[in-house]
Structure 1
Amino acid sequence: MTIRILLADDQAMVRGGLRRILESRPDLTVVAEASDGAEAVGLARRLRPDVCLVDIRMPRLDGLEVTRALAGPRTADPLRVVVVTTFDLDEYVYGALRGGAVGFVLKDAGPNLLVEAVRSAYAGDALISPSITLRLLRHITASGSPSGGGRPHPLSARETEVVLAIARGRTNQEIADELFISLSTVKGHVSAVQARLGLRNRVEIAAWAWENRLMDAV
């Protein structure tokens, strides 16, 4: 299984660096590059890549417009879009997520997070850079009282450890390294947590941990 990726960024050096990171993994391949938003939309619609990595600031169409065009709620056959940018302004984050993006990753987050964001998008999950996730969660908890109030939950001790690590912004590989378990075991725990709590992705798991005050003891 190879994940086919479209890169959209107006800087050739950035596209080259992202390509090298992605294609160093045997399951990832870059099938096209676009230097502006309009070109990205055209290539994506023609080639139907598995995941589109899109910068925010680009000529002709910006990353938010590209996201809405390819993944928006009115799109008949949406594609998976991950925004990869140096800009973490709130309006960009919320605009991208409202537009249908399944990931928002800062360029300085490191290669491992970028790769995991692509794999998560392909698997139908969502991944957001840890610093952005924490800001979103602070907004969630500040906008209302926690829903859980520290009540007992149905998770095992190991599942709770995994949830706490997710809430701290750890990737699956980092969780595996910290808990001395395999990557496949981490993925199994994440899937079990989502099923048990009725959550769709890592962002919702992290929000659940904060809302239920699991982070108070960390």
Structure 2
Amino acid sequence: MSKLVRILCLSAITLLMSACATTFSGQVSSFHEWQAQTSRVYVVERAPDQENNPEYKVYEEQLRRQLGISGFQEADAQHPAAIKVSMAYASNIAELQVSSLHPALYDPVWRLHFRRGLYYGPYWYPYPPLFPSDLSVKRNYLHQLELRFSEVQSGKRLADIKVSTEQLNPAISMFMPDLLALALQDFPQPNGSTRVIELQKTTKEAK
């Protein structure tokens, strides 16, 4: 019995670990003229509209953290900046998938409509449906991040890195640490490359 119990416990632990392990994937494009001897002492450069943006400042702290993990050093009085790093990001609806017995389309003004018979009306219209109306809508959101590295003195562009991922959650804040990790993984990545990269993640606690 004790051997059976140990086997069952090991099986349960394995299942638990596999359930907690997840992956995050994104498409990464890298173009650069980065040299091995290029200094990694940096300063973050903000656009004018980012100066008083609380959301951006949260992402900037995450950027600093990931730069440190990737071997960069933030400039200080003893170490003047040799490069400047800027960041831009955006989110958009990438695709709308509709599952229903009646054809449907997405309208940016009225949101969701579907066709009934020969006329056309919104899904909440108060007349009886001609067909079962179990309408299921799934929106995929495209989250994008761009990092730019430039020389402080000359302003020469050293590297452009773009990362994109499609997710069901519209909040880019949920994925910004992962987008930054993909952007800086194995920096600098092969010049002129566009690759799909998977990031291994482990969820410590499910809530």
Name the structure where strand makes up a greater proportion of residues.
2
Larger Rg: 2
Query: RCO (CA 8 Å, sep 6+): is it higher in 1 or 2?
Result: 2
TM surpasses 0.5: no
TM value normalised by structure 2: 0.28
Higher helix share goes to which structure?
1
